[in-house]
């Protein structure tokens, strides 16, 4: 079995399992909606401040909600005894990495597809834009790939729920900064050249993270 076929099989397995259980997406969605509502009410008395906070609130919600899903994604495989079975697949073990990461990406995009119109309704700022979708796609891609790698690293640790954010958030700083600046420039019709620069930063980050994950995953899952 080649790596692509094995990765697609794992990807399809995760989608099927989530369609039946509705655990990861629902957990992330409920948490994300709660965060948005808290921020909406917090900035309700100051419309100007509320508008300025939209990019930060949006990406804070995505990052925090996504961390819940990433933590459960690999932990569920270990708790159900599936992780060892995945490692016995007659294919390169990076297939597990790419299959799980792509499934996590789809789950997070589903959550974003619901959160964006909800936040648009409450904030009065139009987040349903094709150019903003590009930032969301690039930002969530790099996020889930580094998150999947680190969730695999911490899956056998007893305090993985606390350790994963500690390891993940510092590495996400360049990604979150690029997403925040890109989103702010789009919503304020900022400098096009600066926007292009931040998009290139996102693309470079995604490529580097996916490559690092591909090179390190075999060693990480062995540990």
DSSP per-residue letters across 95-137: HHHHHHHHHHHHHHHHHHHHHHHHHHHHH------HHHHHHHH
The full set of domain ranges for the chain reads: 3-222
Q: How far apart are CA 149 and CA 89, in angstroms?
A: 19
pLDDT at 172: 92
- The per-residue pLDDT string of the chain (223 residues; one tens digit each, 9 = 90 and over) reads 677 788 888 888 888 888 887 778 888 999 999 988 888 777 665 666 666 788 888 999 999 988 888 877 776 666 666 666 666 666 677 888 888 899 999 999 999 999 999 988 888 888 888 889 999 999 999 999 999 988 888 777 776 677 888 888 999 999 999 999 999 988 888 788 888 899 999 999 999 999 998 888 888 777 6
Q: What pLDDT does 183 receive?
A: 92
Model pTM score? 0.89
Predicted local distance difference test score (pLDDT) of residue 90: 66
**Which of 96, 87, 118 shows the shortest CA–CA distance to 11?**
96
Structural tokens at position 47: 């419309």
CA distances from 167 to 127, 136, 163 (A): 30, 22, 6
**In the structure encoding, which two tokens stand for residue 123, read together?**
């904030």
Q: How far apart are CA 55 and CA 173, in angstroms?
A: 15
């Amino acid at each position: 079995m080649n790596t692509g076929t094995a990765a697609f099989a794992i990807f399809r397995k995760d989608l099927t399992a989530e369609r039946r259980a509705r655990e990861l997406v629902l957990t992330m969605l409920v948490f994300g909606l709660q965060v948005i509502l808290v921020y909406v009410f917090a900035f309700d008395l100051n419309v100007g401040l509320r508008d300025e906070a939209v990019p930060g609130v949006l990406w804070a919600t995505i990052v925090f909600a996504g961390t819940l899903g990433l933590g459960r994604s690999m932990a569920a495989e270990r708790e159900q005894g599936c992780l060892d079975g995945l490692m016995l697949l007659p294919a390169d073990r990076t297939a597990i990495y790419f299959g799980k990461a792509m499934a996590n990406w789809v789950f997070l995009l589903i959550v974003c597809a619901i959160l964006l119109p909800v936040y648009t309704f409450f904030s009065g700022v139009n987040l349903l834009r094709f150019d903003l979708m590009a930032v969301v796609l690039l930002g969530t891609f790099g996020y889930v790939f580094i998150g999947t790698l680190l969730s695999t690293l911490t899956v056998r640790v007893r305090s993985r729920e606390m350790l994963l954010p500690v390891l993940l958030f510092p590495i996400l700083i360049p990604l979150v900064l690029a997403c925040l600046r890109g989103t702010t420039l789009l919503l304020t019709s900022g400098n096009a050249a600066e926007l292009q620069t931040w998009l290139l930063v996102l693309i470079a980050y995604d490529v580097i993270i996916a490559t690092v994950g591909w090179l390190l995953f075999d060693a990480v899952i062995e540990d």
